[in-house]
Chain A
């Protein structure tokens, strides 16, 4: 069945550092891919999405490219801020309409 694998956290960075959070997936067909963010004490918010191969999703300085050849959707940001500290979830949604999440990666950014 479909699945999502994320790098384990926590990821600890200094402010203005470059961020990469790896995400790979297993799926039949052509799923849609998503990154969600959960700030402390809050629900999940959609951060960005990509619906087909080579699409790049972007929002708030974050980017991720749908790579079918490597079945990956890595999240990147060029310069992180303390306010980016949160848990990031990679997810996919295939033809079955089931929304499947990775285990989440906690990001901690220090000034």
Chain B
């Protein structure tokens, strides 16, 4: 158990809908990262937060947004969903710079 909790584990929704994925980082970790992993693809970095502020942005679509709350949990919002958004979405957390990140088990999103 990495200590990073993601909910829900599975999500099935229709095209055009909006979903929210939740991540609770390890106790004491200030950084939260979000990644997308599609079938047979590597990890695409989406966005990173540090202590409530956006620190880095990757290949995140405009339909996607995220935030980190004062209690350090983070949410990734995906809207106007398309079939191609079906993927595993991972959250990771770390204490800070140059330290290892620990990953949650992921949320498997299926858009039908």
Contact = CB atoms under 8 A, between A and B. Distances in A.
Interface of A: 31-32, 34, 36, 42-46, 49, 51, 89, 93-104
B45 A89 contact: no
A89 B98 contact: no
26 contacts: A43-B104, A43-B106, A44-B90, A44-B92, A45-B2, A46-B102, A51-B98, A89-B42, A94-B98, A95-B97, A95-B98, A97-B48, A97-B55, A97-B56, A97-B94, A97-B97, A97-B98, A98-B45, A98-B48, A98-B56, A99-B33, A99-B45, A100-B45, A101-B35, A104-B42, A104-B43
Contacts of B56: 96-98
Given A43-B103, A45-B103, A46-B100, A99 B2 contact: no
A67 B100 CA distance: 19
Contacts of B86: none
Interface in B77-105: 90, 92, 94, 96-105
Interface residues of B, number: 25
A95 to B, nearest CB: 6
Given A49-B100, A99-B33, A43 B105 contact: yes
B64 interface: no
A104 B72 CA distance: 29
A36 to B, nearest CB: 8
Contacts of A101: 35, 42-43, 45
